[in-house]
Structure 1
């Protein structure tokens, strides 16, 4: 069988779909696995052995260039998909955009979530096999695998996240950069400040306190990563208050993957780099404010998750008047203790 997997965005969601690809690869009846995703995320999957072919879309560019370009891009993509003659589509995105490509893919079997699980109701019209999960399945990886095993019954491999591979060329490049930037030879700990929602952000003051405490207790200078100019401004404030920190010169996504692979530990919120690190096999410590660690958080002995203790958390709100109170429930001393614990485990 030839299978098309549809999970077009975003960074963390794509990472959470990798165990599905690993399971499909183990199914003897499947000869080819293709993946439809937004072009900006394609470096995640290039040269990954689980995927036979990547099908790209660029809806942001289409919209920016106007309705005619968008229509042309959609028609061209649908034509390309139909030429592949897929036997089955797994729509794991569950929204209107993914539903459009699912419906017109030409595949006779189109699996998706039922009305209780889809993100946008029109997606139901695109699929002809609707899978309900009930309330017992919590984590998004388990939800994705439950839909997949409905199409291909069997026992999924015991993967809590990943697998993901870093490019060897970039690993060498990053090692050289780190040698030039770091004077200390101790563990490499990355602090990633940024995320896409305002309500997922920890306060700059808490990051500063954590960075200072890490230096005072372990003489470890954290490496600060960032994704855009706004995040860079925040990172510079942390670095200004903690001169021993190192601000990483931002590169592309493939370089970031290599950096996260080399790291001993990555600390951050519910954001793509945390999930990439976990998929690469790197230990993580993550905190959850508006979102739920039971749904999104990395699992296993190498990972520690902290959830806000606010009664309203997880609220899934992108803006909230109680942001500051929510952030204060994640204590720097608790994160520091988790860092010590995970580092100790690594050297046992």
Structure 2
């Protein structure tokens, strides 16, 4: 039923826009408040359906926090009064960040009823994300869809866009008009920067892509970047023929409203895993994301219909930055095949059939689509999906999709836990190859272990913490038993077919 809800999202601008499926999943007609970091307030103001935004300055706390925060410390450091936040919600509080600052705020807001934010579904989500952080290559569920599952959506509207405001579109039209007057038919945008320096592709590579696009291709280009990234634009332009008049430099000059208007006016946006790329996808413009190293596209790739992602053909991808540094970011080298990537951009621009796609050696190309299960990626060119990983993804989706409030009342599964509930033995192992069963069992038990290890604030009583975690663990085990029962009921033909394809 419609009511008062609060979302606490203290991460960066890219994570803000990836809340859209959650926002759309909430009951219409209620009020919605957002607690966000003050550094991204101007971006939060672009989101739809938000009734009130409460900015907090968490930069200093994030740099100094290494454990749980006390409520007095939160009030002192963030300069928040109890009266200001203690009555935000009477229905639900969505603490999206597994971080002490977010948890302390949630405990403060929900001090009269901690179950408004701590529940088995949140425990399942956070424990899964922690498990995947160590087993990144096994994930196939987008972070946006995980967040949306917190709202118990029956028929979530996955195709949610951010409308560009009239003032922003008017600005964009005035900017690109000279390109159209010069004969340009399509306009691209290159996002030169990134919040993480290890996710960047050098501006010299971007300029090399552009140099392979002929001047008579009737394509214009806009350079995008934030304040402080002007040097990237200078390096780009230094490597482009100064006589070309088909490039407009807007690095460091656009407000969020103007940037969204610009995204709405261009035909293709190209960049690495960075906040503006996600906002461009949310506006509804096609994007090509270049992902490598720790940037996993399945969980944080561009969300929506018909976007593209280039990823390295590396068995370690996605990997921890330490691993990437050891090999000197070898996974980034295929993006230095400038001619091949320029040709791919032209094919995407012309919207040719998949048979026409040719990609550089060492890369795979994926395209996004929206399904009843959320955001999915299909292989356009390169290595096919791994059936073993897809099998686990189907189970994970089943866990979150079939979750409902009744699991809070599930009885304890006696005799199934050992090591104080840290693992689950016997039954429930899905059919398939021996290797598949071993991997499934290993990942399942790791997920179960993360449930019991998950830290919760001291404001949650030990009894409530145990009961919440036990309900989450019991539900997870019940889903595994259900999967085992389905496998037992399969025909011999189905089992043979399943084992042969795996």
Give the TM-score normalised by structure 2: 0.58
Closer, same or farther: CA 190–205 of 1 in aligned 2, 3 Å: same
**Corresponding position of 1:283:** 286
Contact 1:34–1:52, Cα closer than 8 Å, also in 2: yes
Alignment of 1:231-250 (within 5 A): 231-242=229-240, 243=242, 244=244, 245-249=247-251, 250=253
Picking from 322, 329, 338, the partner of 1:332 is 338
Asked whether 1:110 is paired with 2:117, we answer yes
Residues 118-267 of structure 1: pairs in structure 2 closer than 5 A: 138-149=141-152, 153-159=153-159, 162-180=160-178, 183-216=182-215, 218-229=217-228, 231-242=229-240, 243=242, 244=244, 245-249=247-251, 250-267=253-270
Instruction: Show the counterpart of 1:4.
Output: 6
1:139-188 CA-to-partner distances (Å, cap 9, x unmatched) read: 11121122222xxx5221132xx421222112112221333577443211
Q: Deviations over 1:293-336 (max 9, x none)?
A: 11111245531101122332211427724345222122434433
> 2:5·2:93 contact (CA, 8 Å) conserved in 1?
yes
Partners in 1 of 2:108 and 2:140 — Cα distance?
A: 30
**Paired residue secondary structure (1:76):** coil
Distance 1:89 1:301, change over 3 A: closer
Q: Determine if contact 1:188/1:265 at 8 Å carries over to the other structure.
A: yes
Match of 2:347 in 1: 341
How far did 1:35 drift?
Answer: 1.2
Work out the CA distance in 1 between the residues paired with 2:305 and 2:339: 20
Asked whether the equivalents of residues 309 and 329 of structure 1 are also in contact (C-alpha less than 8 Å), the reply is no
Gaps spanning 5+ residues in structure 2: where?
Answer: 64-71, 132-137, 353-502
- Write the distance in 2 (CA, Å) between the matches of 1:95 and 1:15: 19
- Counterpart of 2:316 (choices 309, 312, 317) is 312
Whether the aligned pair in 2 keeps the contact of 1:225 and 1:248 (CA below 8 Å) is: yes
Structure 1 unaligned residues grouped into runs of 5+: 121-134
3-state DSSP of counterpart to 1:214 = coil
RMSD: 2.9
Which is greater in Rg? 2
Matching residue of 2:24: 22
Kindly indicate whether the alpha-carbon contact (under 8 Å) linking 1:166 and 1:254 is maintained by their aligned counterparts in 2.
yes
State the distance in 1 between where 2:73 and 2:183 align.
Answer: 52
Q: SS at the partner of 1:142?
A: helix
Counterpart for residue 58 of structure 1: 57
TM superposition shift of 1:343? 2.3
8 Å CA contact 2:191–2:269 kept in 1: the answer is yes
Counterpart-to-counterpart distance in 1, 2:55 and 2:85: 10
1:270 maps onto 2:269 in alignment:
no
CA-CA distance at 1:210 after TM superposition: 0.5
Please report how far the alpha carbon of residue 341 of structure 1 lies from its aligned counterpart in structure 2 after TM superposition: 3.0
Give the drift of 1:85.
4.1
How far residue 220 of structure 1 moved from its aligned partner, in angstroms, is 2.4
- Residue 101 (structure 2) aligns with: 97
Instruction: State the SS of the aligned residue for 1:195.
Output: coil
The question of 1:303 aligning with 2:302 is answered: no
Q: For residues 105 and 70 of structure 1, what CA distance do their matches in structure 2 show?
A: 12
Equivalent position of 2:422 in the other structure: none
Supply the distance in 1 between the matched residues of 2:9 and 2:272 (Cα, whole angstroms): 22
Distance 1:324 1:216 in 2: 33
C-alpha contact (below 8 Å) 2:48/2:162 kept by paired residues: no
Spell out, residue by residue over 1:194-228, the C-alpha distance to the aligned partner (whole angstroms, 9 max, x if none).
10112211133321220111235724242111213
SS in 1 for 2:161: coil
Distance (Å, rounded) in 2 between the aligned partners of 1:78 and 1:163 = 35
TM-score by length of 1: 0.81
Measured in 1, the distance between the counterparts of 2:263 and 2:94 equals 29
- Distance change (3 Å), C-alpha of 1:47 and 1:203: closer
Quote the offset at 1:73 in angstroms.
Answer: 5.3
